Each structure stands twice: as structure tokens, then as C-alpha cells.
Amino acid sequence: MNVLAIISVVFAYIIGSISFSYLMARWVKGVDIREHGSGNAGATNTLRVLGKIPAITVLTLDALKGVFAVYLGYLLVGNTPYVLALCGMFAIFGHNWPVFLRFRGGKGVATTIGVVVSLVFYAGLISGIIAILLIIITRFVSLGSLVFTVGLPFTVLALQDHYPEPYLWLSIVIAVLAIVRHKRNIKSLFQGTERKIGQTEGEKQ
């Protein structure tokens, strides 16, 4: 890996480490988003704590982190799949474990969306449509997020003629990361205690 490739990956991590949910909560309410709601620094918890407009803003900005990290890699090294895959991966790492917040961040779904849109658009579109339909039906954002990320390697594999091999490995890492970061949600889903969209803490399903 050459110097520009290393610079690309490092900057991708730094870009990913910018926590817009944390910044939004500080700006709107003067609070640490990680101390409220689910404790997650992401768009879903922003919706729970701050409301729709801040949540949509955070979702958009977090997704754009993934897009920008990949695009910066493209500007510096060109269309080099393994470097672009690493840039996307480290942008997600940055969101999940941000250096600016002592490595306590979010679950990386929105940033993953940005990376997926940039590198494996059609595979992401298929997984995304299924996930959105599932969220609409069940109102479980966590379930939709898991279906989107865990289903991604299968859609990339189904379209393998369109994508270089590093993107398949990236999709596998994305799936593993999502499972690791959603362990508590998975447990809650099985126990029937996972909160739905619009449901406040303590409210019965």
C-alpha cells in the first residue's frame, strides 16, 4: 500500500469519527446523546431524543461521511477497489469507534449506507428495499438495519460479475460489524422488548 492509499484510509477513519448525532444533541439540547435514550450515537436515538428534523439531518450527514470517505480515496488513488473498500470500512470504524469521543460511537448503519451507495449501489438497493419494507411492516429499525447489512453479502455475491472481490469482503465485514454492534438489539428482539419507531422507553408494545 502506497503513501496516498494510507493517507486515504486514515482520513476515512477521521471523517467517520465526526459524530453528527453527538454534535446535534450538544447544539440543540446541550446534552451528550450517549447519556440519553438507548445511549447510541446515531440517527435512531437522535429521533428518540431530539425529534424528526434533527434525526433526518444526522442520518443524511452520517451517510455522506461514507460517500465522502470513499470519494476522497478515489481522488487520491483512483479506482483501486481494495483501497476504496478499506476507505469505506474505516469510515464505518470511525463512526463506531470515534477517536474524538474516546471510541464510543454509534452502530454505523447510516455511514454504511453511504459506503454501499458509493461502491455497490445495486446490491445495496436490493437489500435496502427489503429492509425498508420490513421496517414499515414491523416498525423495528434495528431489524431492518440487520436485514440490510447481513443480506448485503448475499446480494453482492449474486451480482458478483459487477463487483470486484474486495467489495464482497467489505460487505462481509459490514455484516459482522452490524451483528456485533446490534447484539443488545438482537437479544431484545428475541425477548420481545425491542422498542419500535415512535415508542418511548417503558411503553408497552
Query: Considering the domain boundaries, does residue 99 fall inside one?
Result: yes
Check residue 160 and give its pLDDT: 86
Three cell numbers at 47?
Answer: 429521533
Check residue 199 and give its pLDDT: 59
Q: Is the CB of residue 75 less than 8 Å from the CB of residue 54?
A: no
Query: Considering the domain boundaries, does residue 199 fall inside one?
Result: no
Count Cβ atoms below 10 Å from residue 191 Cβ, excluding itself. 8
Instruction: Classify 21 in phi/psi space as left (phi over 0), alpha (psi -120 to 50) or beta.
Output: alpha
**Cα(102)–Cα(198) distance, integer angstroms:** 30
Question: Residue type for 34, please?
Answer: R
Query: Considering the domain boundaries, does residue 205 fall inside one?
Result: no
Q: What is the span of the domain harbouring residue 164?
A: 3-191
First to last CA, the chain: 51
Q: Where would I find the beta strands (DSSP E) of the chain?
A: none
The model's pLDDT over 9-58, given as tens digits with 9 standing for 90+, comes to: 999 999 999 999 999 999 998 999 999 988 888 888 898 888 899 999 99
Give mean pLDDT in consecutive 10-residue pieces for the chain, a chain of 205 residues: 92 96 93 88 88 93 96 95 97 95 89 96 94 91 91 94 94 94 88 75 42
Residue labelled with grid coordinates 470486484: 164
Residue labelled with grid coordinates 419500535: 196
Query: Considering the domain boundaries, does residue 204 fall inside one?
Result: no
Check residue 79 and give its pLDDT: 93
Query: Considering the domain boundaries, does residue 92 fall inside one?
Result: yes
Query: Considering the domain boundaries, does residue 128 fall inside one?
Result: yes
Check residue 106 and give its pLDDT: 87
Q: Which of 158, 176, 77 is nearest to 120 (CA)?
A: 158
Total domain count, the chain: 1
Query: Considering the domain boundaries, does residue 83 fall inside one?
Result: yes
**Cα(150)–Cα(156) distance, integer angstroms:** 11
- Does the model's pTM come out above 0.85? yes
Query: Considering the domain boundaries, does residue 202 fall inside one?
Result: no
CA-to-CA dists, residue 154 to 34, 50, 124, 183, angstroms: 33, 35, 10, 21
